[in-house]
Amino acid sequence: MSELIHTIREKSQELLAAGRVDGILCLVRDRFDVVQPRLIFRAEEIGSIETSPKWNLAKLALQTIRQSGPSFRLAVVCRGCDERALLELAKRNQFDATRITVLGYTCSREQAESCLCVRPYPEKPLAGEKIEGVDPFADPRVSALLTGDEGKRMARWAGLLSRCIKCYGCRNACPICVCTPCKLEDDLWVERAVVPTELIPYHLIRAFHLSDTCVACGACQDACPVGIPLLTLQLLMRRRLQERYAYEAGLEADRKSPLLMDFDHASPAGFELPAWTVSSEAPHER
Amino acid sequence: MSAESVRERTPRDLPRGMSEKTEDMVPIEDRSGSTACCGEVRFVRTTCPYCGTGCGVILKVEGGRLTRTLPDREHPVSRGTLCVKGWSAHEFVASPDRLTQPLLRDGDSFRPIPWDEAIALAAGKLRETADRHGPDAVGGLSSAKCTNEENYLFQRLIRAAFRTNNVDHCARLCHAPTTVAMVQTLGSGAMTNSIADLAGADFILVIGSNAAESHPVLMGEIYKAIDRGARLVVVDPRRTAVAENAAEHLRIRPGSDIPLLNGMMRHLVDAKLYDEAFIRERTEAFPEFLEYLKGWTVEGAARETGIPTEKIREIAEGYARAPQAAVVYCMGITQHACGTANVIAVCDLAMLCGQVGKEFSGIYPLRGQNNVQGACDMGALPNVFPGYQAVSDPTLRAKFAQAWGVAELTDRPGLTVTEMISQAGKGIRALYIMAENPMLSDPDVTHVMHSLKKLDFLIVQDIFLTETARLAHLVLPGACFAEKTGTFTNTERRFQLLRRAVAPPGEALDDFAILCRLSRALDVPVPYDTPAAAMEEIAALCPAYGGIRHSRLEKAGLQWPCPHLDHPGTRFLHQGRFSRGLGHFVRPDHTPPQEMPDREYPFYLSTGRMFAHYHTGTMTRRSPFLNREKEGAYAEIHPEDAARLTVGPGDMIRISTRRGSIVTAAVLTTRVAPGTVFVPFHFAEARANVLTNPVLDPVSKIPEFKVCAARVEKEAVDGKP
């Protein structure tokens, strides 16, 4: 067992034993050697906590919090991308974030490369050492999609996007996609019953709609059955936001998105941001 | 909840300036009567109930109810992806339309009866029919939606209780030609390779498959191949979603697949591009086949298919020269009066070029139903016992009779689905239908209805009161995929576990339990009560599945053949040696479609599926998210034809054939060629199979769903044309 997992299991044990959380959302390796998500309530199950494969849990965490009573407190064993997704959801007032404790762990170089991750760590990791992220635009998988003249790029993207079979997996897997009704379903943009979807209404509206919320976790791309490079689409949006406003979704707890500009530069009022947004654990007080 | 009501209720929760953006993100709801814990939340890994790809799904269970379906990132086939049907797999399970009690016909309606009475009645009526009219007066339609263990018990019951082989299922309507033709040529009637192998192919020929809509996750492997540089060529009369994404789409005239394949093979022979060594070492009957090919030319093929000669040569050479070439086919090949010969031609092409018996290349028939492979494997077929062991073999009959605790089994081959239905009320007096809906799925459904109504006794076991169940004398409420254990076998021969996540509704029972009870009521001993124990009996009787145990399937399933407990399963077939020994070149004798457009019925009519719905729609049309995508029936017609008929988008059109007519909404699209109309068969209110031609392929008995002649007229609305 790696030291990283050991630390996480120990901390989980401690939190449950002390009654500081009521449940732990994590990945477990079952007795058949298969990893899957699970909501753990008992200390006996802690020995099976796992940290790979990559499996974003932020959306499950959000659902769990929303569907439980207001005093139910949840710990989430997760990577940096999940922590950022949770922070973004908290900033967007999607759940009472003081009920969440993040047990964050860092990712390896290999994991960072495979995810094209700029920041392969939570802000204050419980386990593991922070390593430097990768520059996704230096990666050939991304750069190959962004080079060449406009006609060629357009043809390449149109070819990839026309594979879409409207599984809605990108939307379903995205931790931030929680709008009701979803823009893809409001019958303004996306024609029903037609595949491939039209390029602009489905994919570009989704990309723009997430422009200042996407935390680049890549869950959309992981869920895509037909290999559309959805993360690259979002990376472009994120880069623009960074260049223009030095803003990155999922990072600064007390700074709201520049796209929500209201000429008032005071910090968001009316709700309190939890301490775990800058530390790995919420200071629970009973 | 509307955005407005949220804003009114919780204005103080919204940080200043965030309202513009957050209005559509619904903020926290206060839950009154809160409990400290969110209650039971379980994630159950299981197998998707829709197509033959066999994706891994994780059902989220909260407080005994299914609330979500998630993709399984550890699954060997789907690897964390799903199509829209998979993501919605939980939605129909708790439908208020689910059957919850056994129902007995009472005049024009039904009344609920207790299970004991239902089982006694079913057993009594079936027994009485066999006693009075002979064993072959009883028939059973098993189900490609049910598990292997259920299919096994079903055919076991029919064969052991009544000494008849009248058992079949809907494979007759999809891949019967595949099992027949591939056994004849290669020795094994299943996809030769694995789904993941497609990603390694260099040239992929897709004939008559719209995998992008019908097998979307499998299509992902084809895209992986394309991303590696592979060439995708699609042969289809429709410009399908697969065709849209192909390097080349050849719009073939319906029903001319053999001329195309023979033309390709003739060119490869003339150009000496075939694999001589492979043919010499691995095959037989090639000289006779060469002789046969002399009767075919590329020019003739071009005339019959409408595909230019240079294209025929080009794709033939592309296929032959590729280091790894795959052929993917589906209903466009099989659902013809020459369906068996069509598949034979595909196998001949693969053998001619040596593109089979190795990794990545091979022949990929895409099975439609989640367990249609398994239903065939389990012997829900009128001529073979489980494991494709012929009923004509006395040694095998003795083996099965002994295992099933009966004195003898019959060698008389049984009737197929289509034959049982047309014999209903004549030779067949009582029919037991488990989870099939021939009132929508079979050709010429008007005839099906008349036939089924003539039966002395019809038992339908299903999860909904389907169009077929409405005709039954006795309806038995079964369980759906989320409510039972057992195994499904996907299109790549992979046995996969189904795990129970919730209980069946009301008094509904899982089909395995119903079959155990009915078997025992008919004096057929069943010495076990669990699907896992049934699998042990199957393994003991079928060499190809000898190593299959539920305990071995937990992690990633197993692909047959898997003959013993240490066997790792088989990723691709025919390595070094074909299942039958030498590959056998067979002449694919061409029969043109039995009904061609003429003056009276000038259109080609073709049927098929669309991405959001599945087969007869019993599940998908009860899934709100899927039904939202397409709520009602439609037909695709080319804009030029529509203009001629003064039909606009959404106008109602009447489509008629010699069997009957339907009225449906027109979708104007160039996906169909001029002179062609396409009708999906999901919709009970405009049944495509009112129209289809029940003419059968003489070998496999598959109906010619894919081609018939039709007339299209604008439907008068309120007396105004």
In this structure, are B246 and B234 located in the same domain? yes
In this structure, are B212 and B347 located in the same domain? yes
Cross-chain residue pair B31–A92, CB shorter than 8 Å: no
Asked if residue B611 belongs to a domain, the reply is yes
Domain end among B365, B394, B410 = B365
Per-residue pLDDT tens over the stretch B155-164? 999 999 999 9
B216 vs A contacts (CB less than 8 Å): 165, 167, 225-226
Domain end among B52, B67, B91 = B91
Cross-chain residue pair B38–A64, CB shorter than 8 Å: yes
Q: In this predicted structure, what is the pLDDT of residue B40?
A: 76
Average pLDDT over residues A263-269: 49
A71 vs B contacts (CB less than 8 Å): 34, 36
In this structure, are B86 and B111 located in the same domain? no
Asked if residue B559 belongs to a domain, the reply is no
Query: Domain span at residue B4?
Result: 1-34
Q: In this predicted structure, what is the pLDDT of residue A188?
A: 80
Of the candidates A17, A200, A33, which has an alpha carbon nearest to the alpha carbon of residue B552?
A: A33
CA distance B183 to B176: 11
CA distance B160 to B402: 10
In this structure, are B220 and B344 located in the same domain? yes
CA B624 to chain centre: 23
Q: In this predicted structure, what is the pLDDT of residue A277?
A: 57
- Exposure letters B259-276 (e unless 16+ CB within 10 A, then b): bbbbbbbbbbbeeebbbe
Asked if residue B345 belongs to a domain, the reply is yes
Instruction: For B142, list phi and psi in degrees, rounded to 5.
Output: -85, -170
Confidence of residue A200 (pLDDT cuts 50, 70, 90): confident
Q: In this predicted structure, what is the pLDDT of residue A286?
A: 35
What end-to-end distance do the CA atoms of chain B give, in Å?
Answer: 43
Interface with chain B: mutation pick from A54, A55, A60, A167, highest number of B CBs within 10 Å: A167
Q: In this predicted structure, what is the pLDDT of residue A70?
A: 86
Q: In this predicted structure, what is the pLDDT of residue B546?
A: 97
Q: Identify the CATH number of the domain in which residue B123 sits.
A: 3.40.50.740
Average pLDDT over residues A95-109: 93
Asked if residue B580 belongs to a domain, the reply is no
Q: Identify the CATH number of the domain in which residue B82 sits.
A: 3.30.200.210
In this structure, are B394 and B474 located in the same domain? yes
Residue ranges per domain, chain A?
A: 3-134, 136-258
Asked if residue B588 belongs to a domain, the reply is no
A260 vs B contacts (CB less than 8 Å): 17-18, 20-21
Instruction: For B146, list phi and psi in degrees, rounded to 5.
Output: -90, 170
For A42, the token pair is: 């008992």
**Residue % of chain A over a pLDDT of 70:** 91
Closest chain B residue to A39 measured between Cα atoms? B41
CB proximity A35 to B under 8 Å: yes
In this structure, are B61 and B114 located in the same domain? no
- Count up the domains in chain B and report the number: 5
In terms of DSSP bridges, do strands B109-112 and B103-106 run parallel, antiparallel, or are they unpaired?
A: antiparallel
Q: Identify the CATH number of the domain in which residue B228 sits.
A: 3.40.228.10
Amino acid identity of residue B301, one-letter, is A
In this structure, are B231 and B282 located in the same domain? yes
In this structure, are B222 and B347 located in the same domain? yes
ipTM score of complex: 0.90
Per-residue pLDDT tens over the stretch A119-155? 999 998 999 999 999 999 999 999 999 988 889 999 9
Interface with chain A: mutation pick from B28, B242, B667, highest number of A CBs within 10 Å: B28
More confident residue, A15 or A277: A15
Which residues of chain B are modeled with pLDDT < 70? 1-39, 718-721
In this structure, are B196 and B325 located in the same domain? yes
In terms of DSSP bridges, do strands B494-498 and A35-40 run parallel, antiparallel, or are they unpaired?
A: unpaired
In this structure, are B20 and B43 located in the same domain? no
Count Cβ–Cβ pairs < 8 Å, chain A vs chain B: 191
B72 vs A contacts (CB less than 8 Å): 36
Asked if residue B447 belongs to a domain, the reply is yes
Residues 249-278 of A with CB under 8 A from B: 256-257, 259-262, 264, 266, 268-271
Give yes or no for a cis peptide into A125 (omega within 30° of 0).
Answer: no
More confident residue, A103 or A92: A103
In this structure, are B403 and B470 located in the same domain? yes
CB proximity A284 to B under 8 Å: no
Asked if residue B565 belongs to a domain, the reply is no
In this structure, are B26 and B42 located in the same domain? no
CB proximity A187 to B under 8 Å: no
Interface with chain B: mutation pick from A28, A57, A89, A163, highest number of B CBs within 10 Å: A163
For A241, the token pair is: 């936001």
According to DSSP, the residues that pair with B385 across neighbouring strands are B389
Q: Identify the CATH number of the domain in which residue B688 sits.
A: 2.40.40.20
Question: DSSP for B321-362?
Answer: HSSSEEEEE-HHHHSSTTHHHHHHHHHHHHHHTT-SSSSS-E
Domain end among B494, B529, B564 = B529
